[in-house]
Amino acid sequence: MKKLCKLLAGFALALSAATSNANVVLNNLSATSSNISFDIVGTITTLGSGFQHQFGFGHVSNPALDWITSFNGGASSVSVSAPTKQAINTVYDLTGSYGESVWTSSSANWLIGDQIDLHYNLVGAFNLLNFDPNGLGFQVGYSVGPAIEKSNNILTQQTSAVPEPFTLALFGLGLAGLAISRRKKA
């Protein structure tokens, strides 16, 4: 019985860790009318059909929403941390029929499986009434249609690192199982 408790506890803890990991996560979002900053961390899982040296960030739910009033590309930046594969060369905005979004470009294409750890610092004039973190997406490779296409969106978790209830329940079950197995030992 002790071995079964330990096995179930270990399984529950492993499953809770696996369910809490998202492919690409947006963290540390800070938005004011003149500055938006956030981190993008994770693994590239989907590529658009063209321009795969580019990352795009913007609306998924409604590409017509205008959240960029003006954009200062010279003052905006994207910094990279390990294990990111390569540097970001430029930062610019894409508006109009392409949707409202911010794009970056690198010297080489990004590939599925590449790890990214990026910090965006966007400077300009932003309409925060239209800036909804739940409507944002992240895409590698601009192809056709809206700048951020739902089918190519790789942002799986929007703004928090708060575990889901199921994840917390599994973690709790794992801790309870470990406590029971240790108490029976004593």
The pLDDT tens digits for 35-65 are 999 999 999 999 988 899 999 998 887 777 8
Return the pLDDT at 147.
Answer: 79
Cβ(133)–Cβ(29) below 8 Å:
yes
What CATH number has the domain spanning 26-163? 2.60.40
Residue-wise pLDDT tens digits, 149-170: 888 889 875 544 444 555 555 5
Return the pLDDT at 151.
Answer: 84
- The residue ranges of the chain whose pLDDT is under 70 are 1-22, 97, 144, 157-186
Rounded to whole angstroms, the Cα distance separating 157 from 159 reads 6
Beta-carbon-side half-sphere exposure of residue 157 (alpha carbons within 13 Å): 21
Rounded to whole angstroms, the Cα distance separating 101 from 177 reads 47
Domain range summary for the chain, segments of one domain joined by + = 26-163
Q: In terms of Cα–Cα distance, which of 162, 91, 86, 156 is closest to 120?
A: 91
Return the pLDDT at 16.
Answer: 41
Return the pLDDT at 12.
Answer: 45
Return the pLDDT at 176.
Answer: 64
Return the pLDDT at 108.
Answer: 93
Whether the ω angle into residue 83 lies within 30 degrees of 0, i.e. cis, is yes
CB atoms within 10 A of CB 105: 14
Rounded to whole angstroms, the Cα distance separating 47 from 143 reads 9
Return the pLDDT at 23.
Answer: 87
| Entry pTM | 0.71
Return the pLDDT at 135.
Answer: 82
